[in-house]
Amino acid sequence: MCFASDSRPPPLPADVLHAPVAGGAGSESLELTSADGTRFSAALAEAAGDATSAVAILPDVRGLHPFYSELVERFAQAGHHAIAIDYFGRTAGLLPRDASFDFVAHVQQTKVAQVQADTLAAAAALRERTGASKIATVGFCFGGLHSFLAGADLCREITGVVGFHGVLRGERFGISGPIDRAGEISRPLLGLFGGADQTVPTDDVREFESSLIGSEVEHEIQIYPGAPHSFFDRHYDEHAAACDDAWRRTLEFLQRHAE
């Protein structure tokens, strides 16, 4: 599992403006419809003021865990409209689900084209609700893989892609992963990885980075020494500096590519 069951996103850096979420009620639960008619769950938070940038958050293997419902609020507080999607509308229906949910079985049934279709539906909802003109993807682990692939397949719809400890090899999911498709990625990319990650080895990260250099796409790769796979968690006091830096890099990336 990418995160503990009680995981929650780390706080925004102290010097980042903490604006109230529009409406003051935190994240809003939504039901969206994908291109194939599938209904799926999402969580939305709108930034206050006249924000025009937005992020579509692609979760880890658990789908729309409370971690991500809270994370959209953090992005909204930092000035970016945000929506997070659930992957399992086709196989498990809509939320809520209890702790016994076997997400592994549902991940194995998830297809890249379905995730991309759901991402497009979420982006459309963002534009309709917020008027956002520029949208970047931000993914975690399994979602990081899909965020990177969006940089190849959804390049007309998104302005940039961010992956936190994104899986780089797709063999276990039966697909070509970001390492294999690095030459096809055409959107600016930010990758944030733990140096002690046993799921995404540093050698894979370096290979991915080398492929991106060869393709000449704008990119930034950051490895945090000693940080584990799921370092971006408020419970990891020993990795608070890495979390703070990851927030800063992500928000700076969005300022360059989603505003």
Residue 115: is its pLDDT beyond 90? yes
Q: What's the rounded mean pLDDT across residues 220-230?
A: 96
Residue 3: is its pLDDT beyond 90? no
| Residue-wise pLDDT tens digits, 227-248 | 999 999 988 889 999 999 999 9
Residue 251's CB: how many other CB atoms inside 10 A? 18
CA distance 94 to 107: 15
| Residue-wise pLDDT tens digits, 28-57 | 999 999 999 999 999 999 998 888 899 999
Residue 1: is its pLDDT beyond 60? no
Tell me the three state secondary structure of residue 206. helix
Q: What is the dihedral of CA 174, 143, 107, 113, to 10 degrees?
A: -60
CA distance 257 to 190: 11
Q: What's the rounded mean pLDDT across residues 125-151?
A: 96
CB 191 within 8 A of CB 205: yes
Phi, psi at residue 126, to the nearest 5°?
A: -60, -45
CB 184 within 8 A of CB 154: no
Domains and CATH numbers, the chain: 28-257 (3.40.50.1820)
